[in-house]
Amino acid sequence: MTKTKKVISLLLTLLFSLFLISCGKSSQVDNVNNTNSTTAATTETKIETQKTLEDLKIHYIDVGQGDSELIQIGDKNILIDAGTSDKKALDYLKSIGITTIDYAIATHPHEDHIGSMDDVINNLKVGTFYAPKATTTTKTFENMVDALKNKNLKMNVPKVGDQITVGDATLTFLAPNSAKYEDLNNYSIVCKLKYGNNSFIFMGDAEDVSEGEILKKQLDIQADVLKVGHHGSHSSTTQAFLDKVNPKYAVISCEKGNDYGHPHEETLDKLNAKNINVFRTDLEGTVIATSDGTNITFNVKPVDKANDIAPKKTNKKDN
């Protein structure tokens, strides 16, 4: 009888040990499954983040002696200015397959900024249109207004601090900050685009007066890329403003051998003294900046500082 009890006891001990081993293996499998599940979720999140921040492009379009920038965020398009009346801006937009402009901004009513805006409005689908509260009696301005009327588009006047949000990008209006100016250039709409950790400022033709107002209001103007005001004229890009923006890159839009001598030597000296990488449409054609929210790359190399010289200036008025 005692012998039988010992056998039974031994069998029970063995069964209990097997049970413990089995539980341990089951727990390990669960832990592995949980770990794999967590890793998969983390990887999926990273991929999703990359998908969100991979498709911002800014085209600083070569329109000769003028300004035009196209911002592409996913399938949305923002156009800032449209160059002169020679339709170069429209031709470029068509060449890259643009059929819709979701937001159009006319910085101020000078021909070298709104010359082809009527062509853009007449030939493409335009969503919301922005312009400052400034008018002129020129045929160019009249053509733009007529085109807006024909498409039943309203001219919206943005206030400082107003924002446009497109996907993960936010465009904030920074100027004009006054109701009246002596110089039409200072009516220019100035805006800052923020995308992830990258930011870009677009100055139109805003001059030292407007820059001073922006500084006085202590608006957030730090940016990686500065679209230099007024084609690099000495009337813009004051040292205090440039120091505050503190960009890594600067883009100047102007025509090769233009009559105004843009960009002026004083401006180039300021940019070069701060070791800012300069891109120029007169020397390199259309400049395209691509951002993933962290890094910015360009389709062309910066201008060699040794050759970054100003064109010869004539007596033509710096408009």
Q: What is the pLDDT of residue 45?
A: 39
For 73, the 3-state DSSP assignment is strand
> Is residue 34 scored above 60 in pLDDT?
no
Say if residues 209 and 183 touch (Cβ distance below 8 Å).
Answer: yes
Residue 196: CB atoms within 10 Å = 16
- The residue assigned the tokens 């081993």 is 21
Q: What is the pLDDT of residue 318?
A: 67
The pair of three-digit structure tokens given for residue 32, joined into one six-digit string: 């592995």
Mean pLDDT of 164-183: 97
pLDDT averaged over the chain?
Answer: 87
The pair of three-digit structure tokens given for residue 127, joined into one six-digit string: 């969503």
Distance CA 105, CA 119 (A): 14
Q: How far is CA 289 from CA 58, 101, 186, 197, in A?
A: 5, 19, 26, 15
Mean pLDDT of 270-293: 97
The pair of three-digit structure tokens given for residue 83, joined into one six-digit string: 């160059």
Mean pLDDT of 105-134: 98
Q: What is the pLDDT of residue 310?
A: 67
Q: What is the pTM of this model?
A: 0.82
| pLDDT tier at 47, thresholds 50, 70, 90 | very low
Q: What tens digit of pLDDT does each residue of 242-256 get? A: 999 999 999 999 999
Q: What tens digit of pLDDT does each residue of 48-60 get? A: 444 455 589 999 9
Distance CA 23, CA 32 (A): 14
Q: Taking CA 131 as the corner, what is the angle to CA 285 and CA 238, rounded to the nearest 5 degrees? A: 60
The pair of three-digit structure tokens given for residue 82, joined into one six-digit string: 């449209």
Q: What tens digit of pLDDT does each residue of 14-30 get? A: 555 544 445 454 444 34
> Is residue 286 scored above 90 in pLDDT?
yes
